[in-house]
Amino acid sequence: MLAVTVSVMSLLGCASAQPSEFVAAPSSSSSPSPLPLVSPSAASSPSTPPFIAGNPDGKAAIPAEARAEDTSRPTRVIGDGTPASCTSEEVVKAVAAGGVITFNCGPDPIVITMKATAKVRNANGPRIVLDGGGKVTLSGGGSRRILYMSTCDRAQGWTTSHCTDQDHPRLTVQNIAFVQGNATGQPVNDISGHGDAGGGAIFVRGGQLKVVNVLFKGNRCDPTGPDLGGAAIRALDIYRDGPVYVVNSTFEDGACANGAGFSSIGVSWVVLNSLFRNNNAIGRGANPARPGTPGGGSGGAIYLDGNLFTLKLAGCRIENNIANEGGGAVFFVSNDRTGTMTIESSVLHRNPSKGFQTKGFPGIFFLGARPPSLIGSKLD
């Protein structure tokens, strides 16, 4: 079926705006379906690593500031060398205390099912590093968010008078997996206008965030809503608007109203050598929500909204993600048309946009300063 070129008012993503050309994407009965939630056992086989993260074909250079943190001298260690000592309670306690955190759970990979969300205390840091050593999986059990940081949450302590733009805490998660996190039902509106919705695995407002060698699998957030998102990660009010670095990581089998990998408002991202697959933006009605609909359904893998922000994808593979509305792979709306997007040495393959996408950029809906820059990349 031929794609149809349509001109509409760009009301999506809270854009104010001017007419923008996009392609209405035909529906397809062959669109991939997201895989079911993973069901980790108490521990994995010692001969098999618990996860493999990242795009094995990614060759993008990693700048020094995006590399894993040194954890050779941890502030605190979770566990005494036995699996039984590595509990949800110990993870919650360690994250609240802050510093450089590692695990000593024995020689075998382990899954720790969280009985409560681990929350960063804003005064404890300023650096918080959570390093699973390639053997630890934290599970939300399909019922709760796994990790939370908000500089604007009084319950976690205010440390400045400008919580929406402060440089600490600096949170790094590395060499770890986050599975079956679920942020469904978190408040959508608060004083910021965004609330704590989204972020099934990780929610971050304020401070800084870095993600290195991490697997996100089977995470969830609310199924409808025009501007909430981030089945794996939701980021708001990052210091100086970022960037958030995501390196050698995998986002798969996520489901949320928007951005079934990650989502943010007014935050820049640099994503290197990472893999996004089988994620599904399941909302309906776009943003603002069409009359009679709950809204959402954009950004199968990535949903970004705001004014001046940037997205760089390098050495990435984004495949088999779905959006019920726009941007099967990426939804990018810069409301004031100052934002930019660059795709280098990456492959975007079979990411159906069931509603709309930008002409010439399959799997992408983009409103910004200029068309996305493509360097040695393939989109189909």
Helix (H, G, I), strand (E, B) or coil at 208: strand
pTM of the model: 0.88
Tokens 């048309």: give the residue.
337
The whole-number pLDDT of residue 187 equals 75
Average pLDDT along the chain: 88
Residue 189: band (very low, low, confident or very high) from pLDDT cuts 50, 70, 90: low
Whether residue 7 is predicted with pLDDT greater than 70 in this model: the reply is no
Choose between 129 and 3: higher pLDDT. Answer: 129
Neighbours of 37 (CB within 10 A): 16
How much is the pLDDT for 356? 97
277 has pLDDT over 60: yes
Question: Do residues 250 and 164 touch, judged by C-beta distance below 8 A?
Answer: no
Per-residue confidence at 47, pLDDT binned at 50, 70, 90?
A: very low
Q: What is the pLDDT of residue 16?
A: 33
Task: Give yes or no for residue 258 having a pLDDT over 60.
Answer: yes
Give the mean pLDDT of 111-139: 97
Give the pLDDT mean for 275-292.
97
> What pLDDT is recorded for position 50?
60
CA-to-CA distance for 177 and 165, rounded, in angstroms?
28
Residue 55 to residue 124: CA distance in whole angstroms: 34
Lowest-confidence region among 111-120, 160-169, 172-181, 339-348: 160-169
What band does 14 get if pLDDT is binned at 50, 70 and 90? very low
